[in-house]
Structure formats: structure tokens, C-alpha cells
Structure 1
């Protein structure tokens, strides 16, 4: 039986650069987001996770689905997959790393090897759409 880690993620692009986050003691960048809590909607999870990780408030009326992507989970045993439901949204506030996040970075397609497997699929799609430098 395949184990699936179900997550939500925020796709935020400025001038062809994608917002990424790196947790303390890790060398891989991830898309900001995380796991839903029991009974939580995707939108509620996105609002909570982004505020916890990046100190900004997602504007709920701007949330739009981008797509769902699946790949081998980074750092997990073979057969453990991550399924990431991705959303775009605007925010209020100033981006600052918080909680377990040590660094935020503006990533381009040349950073593809520095992100998790599922994020590489997303990088490819954004690049194909001419959204990522």
C-alpha cells in the first residue's frame, strides 16, 4: 500500500521568481504551506500555514487553485508519496521567516535541483507556462 502525505502549497511569483522556503537544518527548498489539520479546508490550511511560516496574511478572496501534483516524498522511504494541492493568492504584510522556517528565497528555474521532487514537477509546469525565469 502506498502512503500519501497530503499537503497544500502556495505558489507566489514575482517577476519570474517563485517564493520558496527552507526549514532550519535543511538544505532543500520547499513551496510554503503544509498539512491540513483535521476538518480544515484547503483555504483555511493555506491561511494558517502561511501566517505561521511567513508572517503574512493571505487574502482569502484572492485564493485560486493552480493544480495538484504528486511525487516521491523528499527524504522519505520509497513508496511514500506527497500530493500537493497548490494555490495562488495575494497577501498583506511583510514576508519574514517564522516558526521552523530559516530562510525565504526567490527561486528561478536554475534552482530546480535545490527543491523537492514534487516541487520540480511544479517548476517544470511554471517554466512551460513561461511564468518562471
Structure 2
């Protein structure tokens, strides 16, 4: 997060904003997957010390059959140091990166909407 906004991405061929992330490889911990996915999708170089757990979200999966749910472990990237001045960039996996507030919830799938709600409740974003 930066300036009371959270970084989201729009994946190729998708119409909504998602949190950067993905699935852990078989040999990875969740934190290692966060560090890898952040770099792959945004070019941001995080370390395990930069992230902290922020709970889990289980919501209907966007673009999937009715009743399909997605469960996501959420992590926050701690502000400070080089991360504060780093510029995220779109990668081969995403078309755009954008800093958003809760006002952008209508551009997010259900899991993103719930995550924005929790970030507002924690007074981390507007």
C-alpha cells in the first residue's frame, strides 16, 4: 500500500482488477509465493521481511461456474525503504497496474471487494 491506496492489476484478457498474486509452487511457502508473484506481476522486489499476513478471503470466483469459490490468503507489503519509491510496472502477465481506493470496488471481483472492505475497516486505505 502507498498513500492510502492498494496496488491492483488487470490481467490480460480480463475486465476486472485483481490483487497481485497467484498460487504457490509445490516447493514454496505462501510468503515465498507472494515475493515471487509480486515481482512477476509488478516488478516490485519484496523480501519475506516486507510482508505480513492479513487473513483470508473466501468469495465467489469471478468468471467461473456458479457456486465456484476462491479462497485467498492475504498479505500486506509493509511500507518503508526502497518499496516506497519503487515504481510498479505491468508485466507480461498483466496489462496494467493501478493504485486504487475503495471507490474502485465496482471494478473488482467479489474477493477484491471484500479485501478492499477489510482494508478500509483496518483504516489502511480510503
TM bracket (short chain): 0.7 to 0.9
1: CA distance between counterparts of 2:49 and 2:123?
25
| 2:114 alignment counterpart | 121
Aligned pairs, number: 121
| Structure 1: gaps (5+ residues) | 1-12
1: CA distance between counterparts of 2:106 and 2:16?
9
| 2:101 alignment counterpart | 108
| 2:70 alignment counterpart | 82
Q: Secondary structure at the match of 1:57?
A: coil
Instruction: State the TM-score, normalizing by the size of structure 1.
Output: 0.84
Contact residue 59 and residue 89 of structure 1 kept, 8 A? no
Aligned-residue CA RMSD (Å): 1.5
Q: Secondary structure at the match of 1:58?
A: coil
Compare the two structures and name the one with the higher strand fraction: 1
2: CA distance between counterparts of 1:62 and 1:100?
23
* Runs ≥4 residues deviating over 6 A: none
2: CA distance between counterparts of 1:94 and 1:59?
16
